[in-house]
Amino acid sequence: MADLRSNTGGIRSPNPFWLASAPPTNSGDQIMRAFDAGWGGAVWKTLGSPIQNVSSRFGALNFRGTRAVGFNNIELITDRPLEVNFREIAEVKRRYPDNAVIVSLMVETEEEWRDIIKRSVDAGADGLELNFGCPHGMCERGMGSAVGQEPKVNERITSWAVGYSTVPVLVKLTPNVSDILPHGRAAQRGGAHGVSLINTIKSIIGVDIDRFVLEPRVGELSTNGGYCGAAVKPIALHMLAQLARDREFQLPISGIGGVSNWRDAVEFLLLGSSSVQVCTEVMLRGYRVVEDMIEGLNTYMDDKGIANLDGLIGKAIPSYSEWGNLDLNYDTVAKINPSSCIGCQLCMVACMDGAHQCIHPNPDGTRVPFVDESECVGCNLCQIVCPVPGCITLEEVNERLPPASWNQHVDSGATLRAKKGVH
């Protein structure tokens, strides 16, 4: 059994699976049930001046019969009295001393930050997470992503929080910026012990085409919300990796954004997360999903001979390079396995209309398409649309010119192979 114990900037948990600050962490009762199910940590739903929420708060993106591949919300921070939250935090920590309880915070003035941090630490929080990411509602009041989009404000408030806190402070970053690096570095300059990312992405999840109103609908109005769920994972992975490979940025990262199962978690760890936070999949399926996450991660690590998370965190970062460094002489072509092909010809139409016109009807009259390897650019589109796993493979062409990147070509005239698919 692999050692799954996790440490994110001094916040320790029995495994790297945390619940993100969100409806699943709204109360002590919920968080205790989550810990019973196996969650290693939980980020308490953001505390601040309690607010009033609207009715109708969530919307979902369905795609080809799969419900909620993407999800958005216009819910705000906690609407429960602060003293109730603090009493429950203390109760949870008393009953679950080994699980991590991180309290998410969002207030305005320095005095408010000082006060709410003291109360959180007094209640027993293992760490704090500064919510600089909420992209709806709270930002209209100068909080949330309004802070996260201004590095100087981010740095100043972070330094207040770190000054007042006796427990580790994470800064939760917003993805609603053009470049994540200045914002991660600002948190680092402010003295944060780590960052968490991504918060939700500004979104309109859909439009009611009969009423002509955005969704989710509040009467006859709506507003933009925060987008999350499985569909946002690629955006999260990019921002995570951007920070993780930055030489200047040195803080540990708690990864968030579309983690739905153990495979997703492994990807986040490989790109530099020390822990992962999950919300949407729990909202859709319940706390119970963590059992498979823990077991799947454990089995994966055992299979790979990886003893602990340190052996996994950041392992894929060295593979993240610039386009200009990619080998232009690397060459793959698509191969279709005729014995597993079911003859749908989705690869053919995709290649003809969406790629480089190198997959054709088979001259032998069967429905197994023919790949013109002299024209195939190895783009992967056929493999992506093929409904049969393993039927289409991209295989390396053996006879190749020596590796040559665009940068090498420009700098020293390295020889590039002849282009394919440019008929």
| Rounded-to-integer distance, Cα 8 and Cα 12, Å | 7
Taking the complex as a whole, how short is the minimal distance between the CB of residue 47 and another protein, in angstroms?
A: 29
Point out which residues bind another protein (CB under 8 A): 261-263, 285-286, 288-289, 291-292, 295-296, 299, 388-390
Taking the complex as a whole, how short is the minimal distance between the CB of residue 91 and another protein, in angstroms?
A: 26
Please choose, from the candidates 255, 253, 258, 265, the residue with its C-alpha nearest in 3D space to the C-alpha of residue 290: 265
Neighbouring-strand partners of residue 127: 102
Taking the complex as a whole, how short is the minimal distance between the CB of residue 364 and another protein, in angstroms?
A: 25
Taking the complex as a whole, how short is the minimal distance between the CB of residue 317 and another protein, in angstroms?
A: 24
Please choose, from the candidates 231, 233, 230, the residue with its C-alpha nearest in 3D space to the C-alpha of residue 197: 233
Between 326 and 388, CB nearer to another protein? 388
Q: Which residues of 302-315 are buried (b: 16+ CB within 10 A; e: fewer)?
A: eeeebeebeebbbe
| Rounded-to-integer distance, Cα 277 and Cα 34, Å | 13
Between 248 and 292, CB nearer to another protein? 292
Between 261 and 407, CB nearer to another protein? 261
Between 92 and 289, CB nearer to another protein? 289
For residue 185, give every residue at least 6 positions away whose Cβ sits within 8 Å of its Cβ, in sequence order, or none: 151, 246, 248, 249
Which strand (E) or helix (H) includes residue 226? strand 225-228
Q: Strand 127-131 vs strand 100-105: parallel, antiparallel, or unpaired?
A: parallel
Between 86 and 287, CB nearer to another protein? 287
* Residue 57 backbone dihedrals phi, psi, to 5 degrees: -130, -25
Between 207 and 388, CB nearer to another protein? 388
Q: Which of 134, 139, 386, 391 is catalytic?
A: 134
Q: What angle do CA 162, 168, 172 make, to 5 degrees?
A: 80
Taking the complex as a whole, how short is the minimal distance between the CB of residue 292 and another protein, in angstroms?
A: 5
Q: What angle do CA 279, 206, 216 make, to 5 degrees?
A: 65
Between 186 and 386, CB nearer to another protein? 386
Taking the complex as a whole, how short is the minimal distance between the CB of residue 301 and another protein, in angstroms?
A: 13
Taking the complex as a whole, how short is the minimal distance between the CB of residue 38 and another protein, in angstroms?
A: 12
Between 219 and 389, CB nearer to another protein? 389
CB 240 within 8 A of CB 79: no
Taking the complex as a whole, how short is the minimal distance between the CB of residue 241 and another protein, in angstroms?
A: 23
Tokens matching residue 107: 């207030």
Burial environment of residue 285 by CB neighbours within 10 A (0 to 12, 13 to 18, 19 or more)? exposed
| Rounded-to-integer distance, Cα 423 and Cα 23, Å | 54
Q: Which residues of 362-386 are buried (b: 16+ CB within 10 A; e: fewer)?
A: beeeeebbebbeebbbbbebbbebb
* CA count, 13 A, side-chain hemisphere, 42: 31
Question: 134 an active-site residue?
Answer: yes
- Give the residue numbers marked as catalytic: 134
